[in-house]
Amino acid sequence: MIYLLVGYMWLFIHRPFEVWPWLGDLHVERVYMMATLAYWGLCAPKSWTRNCITWGIGLLAFAITLATLFSRYTDFNSQTVQDWFKILVFYFLVMSSVREERELRILIVAFVVIMGILELHSFREYLCGRGESRMGIWRMNGVDNSDPNSFAGSVNYGIPMLLPALALVRKKWEYLALGGAVALACLCVLLTGSRTGFAGLALLAGAAGMLSRYRWRLVSLVLLGVPVVWLSLSQSLQNRYMTLIDPSLGPENARESAESRTMYFAIAVNIWKEHPVLGVGPGCFQIASGTEMQPHTLYGQTISELGSLGSIALVAMIVCYVLNYLDARCLQRAIPLRHDAVFCYRVVAATTITMLQLLFFGLGGHNLFRYNWLWCGAFAALALRFLHDHYFDDYMQDLEQADPGADESATACMMPSTEM
């Protein structure tokens, strides 16, 4: 079952039916998912992973369902709605069929490899002349039919998953491969010309420098690498990123694009006032606003398209992410280093970083219906389950045998709030 899930991850992320349109006529993704569901129902062993994140995602699903049902602008045939429920089905399959840490490791490594393939393929196409002219510059986009800003976001969201992957490497070539993956991801983001993507990279680098015990090595590497990378960029890309400091260096439409975020959010607030409970429906901001444009902010998208119910669901998901991280942090501190729990803890930490990235990118992009919200929630829930089952419980049993009644304070790490 785990390899069927990996195959669907590749289909969903790389989207070969958009690279080669003739595959689209065969409905490869739909047929593959139906076959996976059939195998899951007939053959796959099942064991549900209980975690509070499911309640947050369930509330979001409820909000999307009601908003679609009562919307005058859309229905369940909408591509936005159908794509999101495909993500929900994958979440359900992962939470019910992944039962061993080995399978979670396969999923995480597969995710890293698939993102690397997507980036490498997109870079190759960029070198062959495939790109997009926006804001007066030639920009890289993804072969998955994503625009430069969306592709930059996808790459940024994938970078934190290299953190748990690092816990698995043992050989020199594996370290080199991870280093190459980081370099490729940074190069792809820079070539997209996405200012939010560039700022996201800077925040990741800053966080890595502050939190890593090898911070001075990282700082030295950054100080040496930044001038080389900067000089290798075209003048147009350099000016594009310099507009973060001096807007006059870019074209007028670039400044207008940045200012439009505020205008669209004000429109979203007005739409919310007219439809306060359920909004106007998923993907319907551009119709309801009359602008024929997307809201360009996560927060405007949420209040206008899903209303107050969707906003509550988003906050609930964020709270669940935080609870999972606090639980994992407490467990990781209680488990001695002789218990190899580093991988699972890093999975939870990486998904929390991705959640924070989604919130940051949401300042300039509409990413509420991205797969990362649900997939990272599933990865964190599974990792937390294995921390409890495979490490903490074993440690408590060993401790009890060695000294009955000792270290009662360690049991405080068993936070039931994450297993609702």
Distance of alpha carbon 87 from its chain centroid, rounded? Answer: 12
CA angle, 43 as apex, 37 and 44 as ends, to 5°? 75
From first to last of its 420 residues, the chain has per-residue pLDDT tens of 888 999 889 888 887 766 666 666 667 778 888 898 898 888 888 888 889 999 999 999 999 999 999 988 888 888 889 889 999 999 999 999 988 889 999 999 999 999 999 999 988 888 888 877 776 677 888 887 778 888 888 999 999 999 899 888 888 888 898 888 988 998 888 888 888 888 888 888 777 666 666 666 666 666 666 666 666 666 667 667 676 665 655 565 555 566 677 888 889 999 999 999 999 989 888 888 888 888 888 999 999 999 999 999 999 999 999 999 998 888 877 776 555 678 888 899 999 999 999 999 988 888 899 999 999 999 999 999 988 877 665 555 555 555 555 455 455 554 444 555
List the one residue out of 369, 365, 371, 301 whose CA is nearest residue 149.
365
Query: Coil, strand or helix: which one is 22?
Result: helix
- CA atoms of 85 and 79, how far apart (whole Å): 10
Dihedral of the alpha carbons of 200, 203, 205, 209, in degrees to the nearest 10: -170
Q: What is the DSSP letter of 146?
A: -
Contacts of 360 (CB under 8 A, 6+ apart): 196, 199, 200, 203
How many independent structural domains does the chain possess?
1
Q: How far is CA 148 from CA 31, 131, 134, 193, 194, in A?
A: 29, 9, 9, 7, 7
Which residues constitute the domain of residue 404? 2-419
- CA atoms of 2 and 22, how far apart (whole Å): 28
Return the structure tokens found at 28.
């490869």
